[in-house]
Amino acid sequence: MTLNEYFSTSQGIGILSTADNLGNVTSAIYARPRVLADGTLVCLMRERLSYQNICTNPHATYMFIESAAGYQGVRLYLHKIDEMNDPQMAQQMTRKSLTARQDQEKGPKHLVRFRVEKSLALIGAQERRFTDS
């Protein structure tokens, strides 16, 4: 199973954890990332604490907890590569429940691209393997 297939077929909740350059950590609920053809992930980020942190410290983790019996999911260890400028993708990734005005009031959006450095099962140290593309 590819990472894209996993996120396309799994229901659950995602949590992005970041830290600033002093090591102060924060966690926030985040939508599933977009998986690009090259296996990198894109997260839509507003100018909030998580985004500020990723601008000073490129390391993050994304934990996805599946809505299933037991504790199923994945922990992805990420490294920021860059930011993308793709207004169409940003619009596609924006919550559909927002009006254009509400979206604008929430402030600027950034498409932050990450490389997955390691993936582990939700619990334990077992590596969670995903195939390419």
pLDDT in tens, the chain (133 residues): 999 999 999 999 999 999 999 999 999 999 999 999 999 999 999 999 999 999 999 999 999 999 988 899 999 999 999 999 988 988 888 878 888 898 788 888 999 999 999 999 999 999 998 987 6
Contact, 118 vs 128, CB < 8 A?
A: no
For position 133, what pLDDT does the model report?
60
For position 100, what pLDDT does the model report?
84
Number of domains within the chain: 1
For position 33, what pLDDT does the model report?
96
Domain of residue 86, residue span? 3-121
Q: Is the pTM of this model over 0.75?
A: yes
Residue 67 lies in a domain: yes
Contact, 43 vs 30, CB < 8 A?
A: yes
Residue 133 lies in a domain: no
Residue 130 lies in a domain: no
What's the chain look like in SS3?
A: CEHHHHHHHCCEEEEEEEECCCCCEEEEEECCCEECCCCCEEEEEECCHHHHHHHHCCEEEEEEEECCCCCCEEEEEEEEEEEECCHHHHHHHCCCCCCHHHHHHCCCEEEEEEEEEEEEECCCCCECCCECC
Give the CATH number of the domain where residue 25 resides: 2.30.110.10
